[in-house]
Amino acid sequence: MSEKFKFGDVIENQYAGENNPHKIGTFLYSYRRTGRLNPGKFARLRFDDGKTGDFLIEDDYLKKIGNVIDDKDILITELVGALDEALDDLNTDIRWADGSQLEGLIERRTKLETALTKAKDQTNDRDA
């Protein structure tokens, strides 16, 4: 299944009012919630004020209006923030996981830590 949005896409929440500071955000990643409470595929967006929000992707109220990848500095900063946040979320999942899920979650954490290290190295190289 192809992704509806990609990292760095600028997304508009069409249900939000014009004065809502969370009307437009940058797509960080998507994830699937399972279980009885709010199941479905969600998008994590980061807003200009640094806050993040989760939005159901399967509804058509999220619309791509651009992409920040044209600006490499913004991209790397967003990437480091997204990876940090995804790692925190994954560590929370690991704390609550049962034994059958643990191995896969730890493997995902290792991949995230590697990607975060590479992104931080690029940030340090850029600043040097």
Share of the chain above pLDDT 70, in %: 87
Structural contact between residues 68 and 53, judged by C-beta atoms closer than 8 angstroms: no
Q: Which two tokens stand for residue 105?
A: 């979650």
The partner residues of 53 in beta bridges, in order of sequence, read: 45
Mean pLDDT within 14-31? 91
Strand positions, DSSP E, 18-110: 24-33, 40-46, 52-56, 62-67
Give the pLDDT score at 46.
92
Structural contact between residues 25 and 57, judged by C-beta atoms closer than 8 angstroms: no
Mean pLDDT within 102-124? 79
CB atoms within 10 A of CB 110: 10
Structural contact between residues 66 and 9, judged by C-beta atoms closer than 8 angstroms: yes
Mean pLDDT within 67-78? 70
- Mean per-residue pLDDT of the chain: 82
For residue 25, give the amino acid letter.
Answer: G
Residue 2 banded pLDDT, cuts 50, 70, 90: very low
